[in-house]
Structure 1
Amino acid sequence: MHKDDVRWVICVLRQMYDQSREYGESYYRLITRSGHFIYMRTRGFLEIDPNTKKVQSFVCINRVISQEYGRKMMEEMKRKYSVIVDMENQSERVSCVDEAPVEHPKHLERIVMHLVEPPASENIDELKLVPPSKENIISAIKNSEKVVQETGIRFDTRKRKKSDPDDLEVLKRHS
């Protein structure tokens, strides 16, 4: 996921949890094997036990969307959630030009841990989140990192593995 999009997606998910919504939708850019970004829409659904108000499962359905529609919807999402994200972002305005365009797995781990932590003031009527264990979160991030590294993009540099000419032909036919 593009590093500039992570905070927006997390904000939408957190609002979904905090406001006891069973549905949420966000938009982001995802890096492809070729190093280009595609636009994605993710729709998240919570399955909630009506008696205990505990979240039983969380399902995301992801779909590739056009660049034009993706940009439009990302702007709409940013407009809708800008007050929340700007408050979180005020101390983090400095960025390095040489940084990789995707989020580093360790930083992503901290973000996810913050997302699944219950809010400070819990109301009995609110959803009861049962967060996954830290080990499961770390394992999922490491598995995701392996997938990204196998596609040729590295988190610590902008270097890519050498392209196979056959892969380029396949990409040309599918684009």
Structure 2
Amino acid sequence: MADSVVQAGIRPPGAATFLLQVVIVLVAASAQSAGVSWPFALVFETGQSLWWLQCLALGALVGVLHRCSNWKQAAGFGLLFATAWLCATFWWLYISMHTFAGLSSVLTALAIVSLAAALGLYYAMACGLYWRLKENHPLLASLAFAALWTMAEMARGTWLTGFGWGAIGYAHLSGPLASYVPWGGAYG
């Protein structure tokens, strides 16, 4: 059976392919965080949102999701993306908890990763559901991703913790979607 799968041109993903997907997701998550607020004074103005970088980051994530073999793998990549992105967004919590509250650095890092992973579960569900729905028409699939991601953003910002810090809508305050912000807010 394995020979017939390889002969048909379908190869099960190897370790190198999986590692490449992990690297793509981590780089995209970093770009997602930087897209909300560019922290470097190199080419762009410091602290400004880069809407196009955020779009590229989500595009890279969707590309990885399309190469997943099942919904569990897609949910796992969604969780990895969200956890890395949110950890990079919540960096200021380290200063608050370690420097000012006196929590040990290991416990502070563990708390931040735990918070990011717990909030990342919303995005894991969104990516898993998207994988299940992506077989439809490409336009419907992109609308489904946008709707699922928006629902995950809204859930993160309102349910349980209500921790909406770093919502991706803030990246579009100075982009082509800026005119819609007064009507839809950061989630619109």
Normalising by the smaller structure, the TM-score range is under 0.3
With the length of structure 1 as denominator, give the TM-score of the two structures: 0.28
Larger proportion of strand: 1
With the length of structure 2 as denominator, give the TM-score of the two structures: 0.27
